[in-house]
């Protein structure tokens, strides 16, 4: 999956054949394919990520989506999900050992590639061939031993190449042939000892301007080895064991800068003609230890030198030699153990425009007439032992910059800066000043920048390094030109009401530690604002750990044009919810380390144009307040190092312009609470979540160190799907079951209903003591009706006088059959079942005998009389389990077995109807046919 971010803000997605990262990331294992059908359907219905916007091992610059950073990720291979639209790629400080041809395929728009600080020992031929737009390649601090012929194929637009700090001892003759536009080459700290390698490079790179050969074992540099003029303008031979530098032809006509610093051997300087180095204007000889004769030869052979660096040589006598170069304008004598300068030495340097005498043990400079420095523009006297401003600086009318920081100056006199009408920058950092007199700076009419003090007409004031404990009202009243103001103190600087009055053009204010003295609100008793700064655009307020800030409500009143605000550890209590209504133009807001702060939506609602919000290190447990904050223009949201464990993606959906999100170093839990967030990070189309694939779980000890985006969140949705499946299945079954019961079992239910009704009816009658209406209910098949009417009725009703109930005769018309049946059985003392083959086949007869048997079980007495008209075998009775059971537990009468004893048969029937006693147990059972 390839992410293309276009300039107009539209993010496009392309897919290539070789990119499988997005497909493999959530591939369902083979084992899961055997899960139930509903689980598979749930997975298929889940939305698939359309692209991989959050990179596995890299981050994207929030201000430039084309800059990709994979720095210090312990990678052994180049990540496969690098967007093809990337313009800058930093994969430094990793564990690469081999660069392959496929590592950078498709990155045709890449312009800078940083491979510094890896373990690369081999680069395949044409490994960079796809990088046709690359202009800068960095391979510093690797393990390369040689540069092969096809290593740089395709880099025709490369202008800068850094291969320093490797082990390169050999360069192929045509290695640099593709680099026709190369302008800067660094080969420092390698094993190059032959100048012939350098000659090949210069011949193949006609546009090469800067060449760094420092810290290589080069012992000589001879112009005779260069058969052609070079285009080199900057040559670095620092820290080489160079013993000979020889120029006898005009092979360096454009050389402007030569670096010979840290060459600790005696150098043979052999330049036969000054014209051969006629363009040289910068010479660096830091910490060299040549003889005075060598220095003299060097200085005498340079006719155009303007900038000379002699730091750390430790010989103050070189000042006279250096000032003998009439073209010299800038001289650096830092750390040369110069304790004093005599007037004659200063007079020889009258042509200098810049002199740096920092880090020398000087107590003072010699007094001199004003003509000593008639052109001097910049004078640096930092890190000396000065206890007062040197007298020599007075009346230097051309001086624009004066540095006196890190000295022991404890007092400034009214005449110290007299005559310095052109001075624009004065540095008094880290001195021992405790008070300032207003007369000290009265002559500095042009001063714009002051480090360590205050003064009218300044553009920049920085008070760092001194201990200003209080800013009084009106201290800046006459500083209408001040643009930047910075100050800090060890214990905090108290600001009185009206202290910033007069700073009508102030653009930047940096104040640490921040303390407000006087009123407890943003307005003093006189009605003035603490910050009456209508032009202020940047305000930075910080508080030291041992300082307690007192931040008034509505303290931003009067900052209508503020664009950037940084507040660190300034809220000791919840701020006024309307605090930002005074800064409607705010674009960038940083609120950090305010541990007692609980934000509310109303606080941010006035910031309708806010683009960047940094709420890091505030111990926030929720960011739900952002969903109602109305931050419609917010593009970058940083929430690092808070206490967020569960993230609600609806918060980010309420930020329509959001493009960059950073939630790193939060204790995010790896459970279903974050399932929506994980899915959103992987699949969202507009927001880049910085370092998302490095977020680690913080829920259970067993999950410590696990990656959040490796949590298989889909099972959460499977559980929900399973629950939905069970519920829907139950609903379907509950819908189908009544239909099924009604269609197939409605008669059985109706039968059960009437049976229960009859049972309850009988219980009620028995409770009331009601007698039965009939002596017996006769249950018979219509096919046996002839026997019933011809034999049974004449005998039992005619001769014996029993009252019988027959359905053809006694059932109540209009009543349901089942209801008549139940009423008949429970209204009779006995139920007489006339059983035959046809009886067994009759469904209604089956219902009647079942009801009678239920009554028998309920009343626990003999209410059932079985009369068999025919001989029935056990096999014929086998489907009727209840009847077989009744026959084994009850006696019965057989008409077919009483052919010759009819009278005895009817006598037994009478006896059963009369007494309910059991017949003798020796009555035979029906026999098999």
Give the CATH number of the domain where residue 575 resides: 3.80.10.10
Rounded Cα distance between 797 and 906, Å, is: 12
**643-685 per-position pLDDT tens digit:** 999 999 899 889 999 988 999 899 988 888 888 888 888 888 7
Residue that terminates a domain, selected from 575, 597, 619? 597
SS3 185: strand
In a domain, 851, yes or no: yes
Residue 876's domain is classified under what CATH number?
Answer: 3.40.50.10140
* pLDDT the model gives residue 900: 73
In terms of Cβ atoms closer than 10 Å to its own Cβ (0-12, 13-18, 19+), residue 267 is: buried
688 in any annotated domain: no
What residues have CB less than 8 Å from 503, skipping those under 6 apart?
Answer: 476, 479, 480, 482, 485, 533, 536
Q: Find out whether the peptide bond into 788 is cis, omega within 30 degrees of 0.
A: no
Q: In what order do the strands lie in the sheet with 804-805?
A: 804-805, 774-779, 828-835, 864-868, 893-894
207 in a structural domain: no
Confirm whether 233 is domain-assigned: yes
Determine, yes or no, domain membership for 373: no
Please check whether residue 573 lies inside any domain of the structure. yes
Domain's final residue, options 597, 623, 652: 597
Q: How many domains does the chain have?
A: 3
Domain boundary, last residue among 569, 597, 625: 597
Q: Residue 588: which domain range?
A: 464-597
In the prediction, which pLDDT does 693 show? 79
Q: Which residues of the chain register pLDDT less than 70?
A: 1-54, 315, 345-346, 367-372, 436-438, 452-481, 487-499, 512-530, 544-554, 571-574, 699-705, 717-723, 745-771, 853-862, 874-891, 915-929
Q: Assess if residue 244 is contained within a domain.
A: yes
Instruction: Give the pLDDT confidence score for residue 631 in this predicted structure.
Output: 92
Predicted pLDDT at 921: 35
**DSSP alpha helix (H) spans, 343-459:** 343-348
User: Quick one: how far is CA 855 from the chain centroid?
Assistant: 77
pLDDT computed for residue 107 by the predictor: 93
Tell me if 97 is assigned to some domain: no
Q: How far apart are CA 471 and CA 499, in angstroms?
A: 6
pLDDT of res. 64: 79
- Angle (CA) 446 451 457, round 5°: 30
pLDDT of 929 reads 33
């Amino acid at each position: 999956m390839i992410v293309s971010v276009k300039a107009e803000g539209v993010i496009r997605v392309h897919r290539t054949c070789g990119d499988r990262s997005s497909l493999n990331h959530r591939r369902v294992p083979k084992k899961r394919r055997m899960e139930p059908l509903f689980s598979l359907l749930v997975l298929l219905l889940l939305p698939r990520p359309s692209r991989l916007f959050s990179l596995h091992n890299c981050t994207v610059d929030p201000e430039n989506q084309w800059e990709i950073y994979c720095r210090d990720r312990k990678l052994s291979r180049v990540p496969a999900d690098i967007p093809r639209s990337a313009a800058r790629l930093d994969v430094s400080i990793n564990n690469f050992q081999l660069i392959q041809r496929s590592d950078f395929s498709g990155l045709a728009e890449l312009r800078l590639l940083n491979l510094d600080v890896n373990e690369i020992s081999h680069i395949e031929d044409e490994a960079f061939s796809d990088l046709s737009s690359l202009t800068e390649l960095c391979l510093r601090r690797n393990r390369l031993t040689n540069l092969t012929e096809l290593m740089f194929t395709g880099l025709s637009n490369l202008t800068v190449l850094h291969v320093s700090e490797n082990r390169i001892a050999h360069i192929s003759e045509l290695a640099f042939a593709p680099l026709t536009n190369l302008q800067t080459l660094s080969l420092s700290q390698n094993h190059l000892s032959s100048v012939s390698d350098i000659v090949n490079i210069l011949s193949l790179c006609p546009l090469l301007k800067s060449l760094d050969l420092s810290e290589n074992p080069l012992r000589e540099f001879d112009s005779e080895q260069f058969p052609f003029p070079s285009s080199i303008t900057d040559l670095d031979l620092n820290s080489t064991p160079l013993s000979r530098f020889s120029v006898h032809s005009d092979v360096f006509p454009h050389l402007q800068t030569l670096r010979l610093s840290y060459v600790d051997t005696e150098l043979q300087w052999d330049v036969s003609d000054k014209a051969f180095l006629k363009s040289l204007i910068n010479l660096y000889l830091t910490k060299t230890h040549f003889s005075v004769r060598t220095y003299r030869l060097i200085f005498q052979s340079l006719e155009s030198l303007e900038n000379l660096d002699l730091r750390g040589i430790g010989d103050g006598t070189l000042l006279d030699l250096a000032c003998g170069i009439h073209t010299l304008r800038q001289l650096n004598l830092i750390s040369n153990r110069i304790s004093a300068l005599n007037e004659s030495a200063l007079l020889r340097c009258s042509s200098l425009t810049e002199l740096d005498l920092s880090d020398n043990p000087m107590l003072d400079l010699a007094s001199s007439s004003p003509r000593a420095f008639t052109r001097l523009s910049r004078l640096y006297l930092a890190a000396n032992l000065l206890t007062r401003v040197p007298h020599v600086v007075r009346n230097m009318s051309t001086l624009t910059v004066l540095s006196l920081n890190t000295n022991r100056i404890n007092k400034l006199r009214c005449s110290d800066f007299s005559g310095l009408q052109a001075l624009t920058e004065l540095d008094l950092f880290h001195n021992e000043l405790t008070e300032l007199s207003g007369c000290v700076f009265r002559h500095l009419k042009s001063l714009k920048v002051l480090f360590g003090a205050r003064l009218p007409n300044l553009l920049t004031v920085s008070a760092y390094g001194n201990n200003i404990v209080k800013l009084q009202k009106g201290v800046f009243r006459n500083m209408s030109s001040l643009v930047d103001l910075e100050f800090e103190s060890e214990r905090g600087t108290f600001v009185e009401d009206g202290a910033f009055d007069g700073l009508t053009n102030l653009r930047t204010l940096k104040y640490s530690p921040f303390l407000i003295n006087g009123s407890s609100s943003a307005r003093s008793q006189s009605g003035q604002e603490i910050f009456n700064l209508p032009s202020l655009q940047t305000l930075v307020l910080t508080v030291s750990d041992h300082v307690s800030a007192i931040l008034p409500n509505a303290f931003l009143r009067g900052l209508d044009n503020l664009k950037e605000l940084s507040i660190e550890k300034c809220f000791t209590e919840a701020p006024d919810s309307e605090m930002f209504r005074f800064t409607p133009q705010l674009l960038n807001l940083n609120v950090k380390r305010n541990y007692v702060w609980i934000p509310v939506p109303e606080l941010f609602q006035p910031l309708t144009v806010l683009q960047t919000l940094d709420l890091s290190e505030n111990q926030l447990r929720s960011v739900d307040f952002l969903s109602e904050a109305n931050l419609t223009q917010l593009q970058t949201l940083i929430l690092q190092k808070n206490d967020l464990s569960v993230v609600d993606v609806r918060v980010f959906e309420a930020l329509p312009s959001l493009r960059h999100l950073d939630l790193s170093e939060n204790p995010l839990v790896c459970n279903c609470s974050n399932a929506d967030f994980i899915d959103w990070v992987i699949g969202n189309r507009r927001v880049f979540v910085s370092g998302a694939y490095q977020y680690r779980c913080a829920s259970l000890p067993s999950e410590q160190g696990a990656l959040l985006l490796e949590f298989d969140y889909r099972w959460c949705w499977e559980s929900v799907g399973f629950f939905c499946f069970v519920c829907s299945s139950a609903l379907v079954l509950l819908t189908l079951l009544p239909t099924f019961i009604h269609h197939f079992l409605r008669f059985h239910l109706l039968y059960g209903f009437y049976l229960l009704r009859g049972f309850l009816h009988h219980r009620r009658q028995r409770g009331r003591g009601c007698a039965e209406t009939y002596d017996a209910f006769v249950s018979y098949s219509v096919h046996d009706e002839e026997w019933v009417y011809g034999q049974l009725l004449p005998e039992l009703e005619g001769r014996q006088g029993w009252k019988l109930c027959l359905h053809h005769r006694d059932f109540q018309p209009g009543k349901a059959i089942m209801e008549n049946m139940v009423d008949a059985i429970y209204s009779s003392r006995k139920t007489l079942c006339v059983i035959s083959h046809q009886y067994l086949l009759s469904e209604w007869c089956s219902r009647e005998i079942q009801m009678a048997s239920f009554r028998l079980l309920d009343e626990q007495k003999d209410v059932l009389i079985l009369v068999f008209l025919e001989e029935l075998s056990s096999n014929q009775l086998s489907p009727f389990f209840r009847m077989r059971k009744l026959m084994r537990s009850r006696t019965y009468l057989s008409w077919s077995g009483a052919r010759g004893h009819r009278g005895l048969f009817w006598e037994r029937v009478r006896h059963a109807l009369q007494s309910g006693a059991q017949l003798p147990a020796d009555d035979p059972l029906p026999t098999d046919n």
